[in-house]
Amino acid sequence: MEQKDLIREAFDNPDGVPEANMDSVNEARAKVKELFTFDMNKYASKATETIDLETNTTMAGKTDVDKVLITGSGTSLVAKTSGLISVTYYKNAFKSWYSLGSTILHEYYHVADYASGFASGLYTSMYRKYGNTLKAAQNVGIKMETRAFNFIAGFGATWSNFNNYRNQYGY
């Protein structure tokens, strides 16, 4: 039995190409909003969104947080994210309505992870494990990407970035 793709079903013309503007982002978000988790809905207002059509990247989107504050050391170390959470949509997000909807779901999963404190807790545990900020940040990035890709895969999404990422990191 073939799995339904709930993201594709959210759009009248999922293969149509949206204009690369915030009106299209808002329209696509409204279509996939029912697929948001409780935390995604709760923390959606914490994000600011921009469109970057100039950066040459294979990514469709990116979510960043302003600051990671680290206090303490060793087993008492605590990391906390704070400041603005920014979502940037790149050219690849606008390849189709389906791609834009998938990107919004993926990036807002990250917004929820940052705003809920999940990312802070994960960074704290990775730093304690590795004792190295770069190694901790890399592992947090891998785990957060895997979680967000798995989230959209749960709706039947099978886009190539997910498969490439899964193959690269063995998830």
| pLDDT the model gives residue 157 | 74
| pLDDT the model gives residue 85 | 92
Beta-carbon count within 10 A of 30 CB: 11
Q: Are strands 47-52 and 78-90 parallel, antiparallel or unpaired?
A: parallel
Contact 44, 63 (CB under 8 A): no
For 52, the enclosing helix (H) or strand (E) is: strand 47-52
Task: Single out the residue of 21, 51, 45 nearest to residue 33, CA to CA.
Answer: 45
For the chain, the straight-line distance linking the first and the last C-alpha, in angstroms and rounded, comes to 23
Contact 103, 93 (CB under 8 A): yes
In sequence order, which residues have a C-beta less than 8 Å from that of residue 58 and are 6 or more positions away? 92, 161
How far is it, in rounded angstroms, from Cα 49 to Cα 20? 13
| pLDDT the model gives residue 130 | 81
Domain boundaries, the chain: 6-160
How far is it, in rounded angstroms, from Cα 130 to Cα 135? 7
| Token reading at 148 | 């967000």
Task: Single out the residue of 66, 15, 4, 6 nearest to residue 36, CA to CA.
Answer: 6
The predicted model scores a pTM of: 0.86
Residue ranges in the chain modelled with pLDDT below 70: 1-3, 70, 73-77, 79, 82, 158-171
